[in-house]
Structure formats: structure tokens, C-alpha cells
Amino acid sequence: MKTLLLTWLDRILIADVFLVLLGFFWFAIAVVGESTGIPLGYQIWQKLWLPLFNPAISILILGAVSSWGIKKLSQWFTTKQGS
């Protein structure tokens, strides 16, 4: 059960990392476009910041901390049972 949970958590985190990276690259390109006067989606990115990218970053941080915590607890219980 723990292995299945960690596997799915890792898969979700991988997808979330790609979403956050996509948002970062889109932001960087859109800022350059906005400064040069070329419309590259900066206004759309701003509208998607709160409903999409902000929660994606929060989920990424929460998932990484949760994954670390589950692995550390598992490691701690394994060493406790072994001794």
C-alpha cells in the first residue's frame, strides 16, 4: 500500500514539475514579449496565475515534503523493527 501511494505521489509530482516548468518558461517568454511590445500571452498568464500556477507550486512543495516524510518514517520504522 505504501509503495503504491509513493508511486502515485511521485507520478503526480513529476507531472506537476512539468506544469510548473511550462508556466515558468511561458512567463519568461511572455515578459520578454511584453517588454518588446509583442503579445505572447502575458495577460493570459496573469489570469491563470491564481487558479493554475499558484496551486501547482503549492502542490509541488506539499508533495515533495510529504514524499520525504513518508520515506523517512518508513526508514525509521524499518530500523526500529530491525533492532
29-68 pLDDT, tens digit each: 999 999 999 999 999 999 999 999 999 999 999 999 998 9
Q: Domain of 38?
A: 2-82
63 and 11 Cβ atoms separated by less than 8 Å: no
- pLDDT tens-digit series, residues 2-30: 789 889 989 999 999 999 999 999 999 99
Please give the tally of structural domains in the chain.
Answer: 1
pLDDT (0 to 100) of residue 11: 94
Reported as a pLDDT band with limits 50, 70 and 90, residue 83 is: low
Q: Residue for cell digits 507550486?
A: 57
